[in-house]
Amino acid sequence: LHRYMRNDLNNLQIRCQYWQHGCREKVPLETLHQHESACPSEPMRCPACRADTSRGEMARHLQICTLRTSAVVPAADVARLLEDMRSELEAARQDFMTKLAEQKLEMDLRLDAQRRHLVQREHCLQEQLEEMRRLYARLSEDIKKLIQQENSRTELQMAQEKADFSKCCTRLPARRQVQKLQKVQIYERQL
């Protein structure tokens, strides 16, 4: 029921609110606002001469409105205005150039400082590298010495062990001699 009522309302043809200003439109409630916000009969006032007119007539009125075209600036004023603008532009250009030069100078100074810093740093790194090289040379020398010591030590040890072994060997009787000795002992016991 509610829906039907709404449909009826929407289908109702309603007069435009500018009826008495000459609009003869009758539109459905749904589109009434849309029409009235663009209705050519809506009264309007010329923004230049304040004359009463309507939305539909405004364009034509502006073409004939005297005040709209009378706002012309005299030529002398235009020349003065142009001159002002030119000198303002020139001042702005000068200002810009000065600032640019200042910035360039500052940039150069900063670059110079950075360059000096880099040179110093490179020098420092070179020194560190040199120091590392010296350290490395000393270390490899030490290692070489240690290896030599170790080698001669083992050689000495091996020679010593060899000598000990052969001494033992000469001290020990040969196996056959031992066997002979044992036989002799057994023989002696039997006697």
Residues near Zn ion (CB under 5 A) are 16, 18, 23, 25, 39, 41, 46, 48-49, 51, 65
φ/ψ of 103, rounded to 5, equals: -65, -40
18: which residues sit within 8 A by CB, 6+ positions away?
36, 39, 41, 42, 43
Q: What DSSP line would sit under 63-88, residue for residue?
A: HH-HHHHH-PPPHHHHHHHHHHHHHH
Distance of alpha carbon 177 from alpha carbon 189, whole angstroms: 18
CA dihedral sign, ordered 142, 146, 148, 152: positive
Q: What are the residues whose beta carbons fall under 8 Å from the beta carbon of 17, sequence distance 6 or more? A: 36
Q: Which C-beta is closer to Zn ion: that of 43 or that of 173?
A: 43
Nearer to Zn ion, 1 or 59 (CB): 59
Beta carbon of residue 62, minimum distance to Zn ion (angstroms, whole number): 7
* Of residues 22 and 173, the one with the C-beta less far from Zn ion: 22
Least separation in angstroms between residue 17's CB and Zn ion is: 7
Report in angstroms how near the CB of residue 61 gets to Zn ion at its nearest. 6
CB nearer to Zn ion: give 60 or 86: 60
In the complex, least distance from residue 47 CB atom to Zn ion, rounded to whole angstroms: 8
